[in-house]
Amino acid sequence: MREILEASLKEITKLLRDFLVTESIASQKGVLQSIDARVKLVSLFILVFFVAISDSPPISFFIIFLSFLLAVLSKIPLRAYAARVTLIPAFSFVVVLPWAFLTEGAPLLNLPLGLKITHEGMFYVTNFTARVFACVSLLVLLILTTRFSSLLSAMRALRLPSGFVSVLAIAYRYMFLFLNEVYRLLVARESRTFKHEKLRKTWRLGGETLGVFFLRALERGERVHLAAVARGYSAEVKTYTRETQLKPKDFLFLLLSLLLSATVILHGVRI
């Protein structure tokens, strides 16, 4: 049991640590990499908004297909792309699955113990999971094909609140550091374990490890803040990406995104 818990924690930590490391993909030459970050940010978020409120699974499945097509055209490894877009929809499916049994409606499948799956319940589960899948696919495309510094610069150019941009930049910068710290703690603890411990002691040692991590995170945060203040930090993140003029392909991408959003509104949103 202890080995399963520790292996799972290490793998999850390693996955989260490497989840957003995408600079190499964003540096490649592809369709989405060539689009201005400001245009991608506005276009994809508008599309995500209308897909999130749509009520048509075919629309969501079409967006999913289009996202995978854009991933191929942007030279994103499909294995890396699929690994990032399937985790959250799978969790969402598990969360909403009980609605297939709890929603009143025409029975689709009768199960033992008086349980039944209804058409309405299955439609809700399918529609919700497909919407989550489509939205996550679009957001992952944005993250994988855009440097984070370009995203920050685009947010500043679009006049998003300075405090929001600063918090996002700091969180992104130090998230990997803290996840790497957790991974190092788990590996260090495993290397110093010579015998199988009981489950109760394993949980106690796990709590101690978590406490050590929180203390290290607090101390690291204080040191980083004092070092930043000593160097003239003024609670405002400066971006160094030079803003360029929009090109015809940027306007074309924006136009296509708006047309696709209009299609989603007409065929997938109930007014």
Whether residue 245 is found in the same domain as residue 235: no
Tell which residue, 211, 190, 185, has the closest CA to residue 7.
Answer: 190
d(C-alpha 85, C-alpha 145), whole Å: 14
Condensed to tens digits (0 to 9), the pLDDT of residues 29-64 reads: 888 888 888 899 999 889 888 888 888 888 889 999
- 135-139 average pLDDT score: 91
Residues 223 and 182 in one domain: yes
Radius of gyration of the chain (CA): 23
pTM for the model stands at 0.73
- Asked if residue 155 is part of any domain, the answer here is no
Residue with the larger pLDDT of the pair 2 and 71: 71
Residue 256 lies in a domain: yes
Q: C-alpha distances in angstroms, 35 versus 41, 80, 116?
A: 10, 21, 49
What is the band of 19 on the pLDDT scale with cuts at 50, 70, 90? low
For residue 156, tell me if it sits in a domain: no
221 and 123, same domain (yes or no): no
In sequence order, what are the beta bridge partners of 78? Answer: none
Confidence at 12, pLDDT banded by 50, 70, 90: low
pLDDT of 88 = 86
Residue 227 identity (one-letter amino acid): A
Residues 51 and 128 in one domain: yes
Range of the domain at 195: 1-21+161-239
Which amino acid, residue 127?
A: N
Mean pLDDT of 200-223: 73
pLDDT at 134: 92
Q: Which residue has the higher pLDDT, 136 or 229?
A: 136
Higher pLDDT, 10 or 248: 248
Contact 205, 137 (CB under 8 A): no
Give the chain's domain count: 2
